[in-house]
């Protein structure tokens, strides 16, 4: 079973391809509602309504249009197979929001996976892009926001090895604090 962090990496890659300069990624777990909500929002070039339809209905459109990619379709399939859903909203020239909902306790729900690796790789490989990552379990949460880190770092860039290690360790540490009361993934 593919981990959710790998789907998130794929979706963030779409945002980068769309020329986004700012990407918000959130992974929010709600133990009462029994859901995991994943939201990726970018300020890239967006999609026209017709294209959003094509992207969310790949099997309907593949026969009549050029190749339609698999990233979103596979993520949607994973969400639906665990009793959830995936939605996209997009405004041309403004950006795109993709929201995927998973039923947390569903037997087919993929593990969250290595979010620390995903976020660290995105920041390290795209030091000029701003990322804001938010992770929560019920009322407990933490976030990493590169716009704030940039202010502290001054001239030091986000791909500096020491900065990358710090981000990685911070996410790891916060994550273990978060999942302290919950069974880890
Ligand atoms: N955030 C986004 N902003 C603008 N367009 C997007 C965005 N995400 C997806 N798209 C459009 O939807 C298409 C389908 O995306 P999808 O991830 O399913 O496949 P792909 O990226 O084309 O290929 P693959 O992910 O298989 O390498 C993209 O080619 C792109 O045109
Ligand atoms: Mg893609």
Residue 42, classed as helix, strand or coil, is strand
User: Would the pLDDT of 64 be above 70?
Assistant: no
Q: Which ligand has the minimum distance to the alpha carbon of residue 91? A: 1
**Confidence band for 165, pLDDT divided at 50, 70 and 90:** very high
Give the DSSP H or E segment for 62: none
3-state secondary structure of 23: strand
The response to whether residue 47 sits with its C-beta less than 6 Å from ligand 1 reads yes
Fold of 4-181: Heat Shock Protein 90 (3.30.565)
Q: What is the pLDDT of residue 70?
A: 77
- Dist CA 12 CA 28 (whole Å): 17
* Contact by Cβ (8 Å): 82, 25: no
Res. 2: pLDDT tops 80: yes
141 Cα: distance to centroid of ligand 2 (angstroms)? 28
**CB of 82 sitting under 6 A from ligand 1:** no
Q: Is the C-beta atom of 58 inside 6 A of ligand 1? A: no
Q: 60: pLDDT confidence band, cut at 50, 70 and 90?
A: very low
Ligand 1 binding pocket includes 10 (Cβ within 6 Å) = yes
Distance (Å, whole) CA 63 – CA 31? 41
Judge whether 101 and 79 are in contact, CB under 8 Å. yes
Q: Which atom of ligand 1 is nearest to the CA of 10?
A: 25
Among 185, 18, 5, which residue's Cα sits nearest to residue 88?
18
- Cβ neighbors of 156 (< 8 A, separation 6 or more) are 163
Return the residue whose CA atom lies nearest to atom 17 of ligand 1: 71
């Amino acid at each position: 079973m593919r981990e959710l962090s790998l789907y998130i990496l794929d979706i963030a890659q779409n945002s980068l391809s769309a020329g986004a300069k700012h990407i918000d990624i959130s992974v929010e777990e709600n133990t009462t509602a029994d859901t995991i909500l994943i939201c990726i929002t970018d300020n890239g070039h967006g999609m026209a309504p017709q294209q959003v339809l094509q992207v969310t209905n790949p099997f309907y459109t593949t026969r009549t249009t050029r190749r339609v990619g698999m990233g979103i379709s596979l993520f949607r399939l994973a969400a639906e197979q665990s009793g959830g859903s995936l939605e996209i909203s997009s405004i041309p020239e403004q950006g795109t929001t993709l929201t995927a909902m998973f039923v947390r306790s569903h037997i087919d729900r993929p593990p969250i996976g290595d979010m620390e690796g995903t976020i660290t790789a995105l920041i390290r490989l795209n030091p000029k892009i701003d990322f804001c990552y938010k992770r929560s379990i019920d009322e407990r949460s933490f976030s990493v926001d590169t716009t704030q880190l940039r202010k502290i770092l001054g001239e030091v860039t986000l791909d500096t090895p020491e900065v990358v290690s710090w981000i990685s360790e911070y996410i790891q540490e916060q994550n273990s604090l978060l999942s302290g009361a919950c069974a880890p993934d």
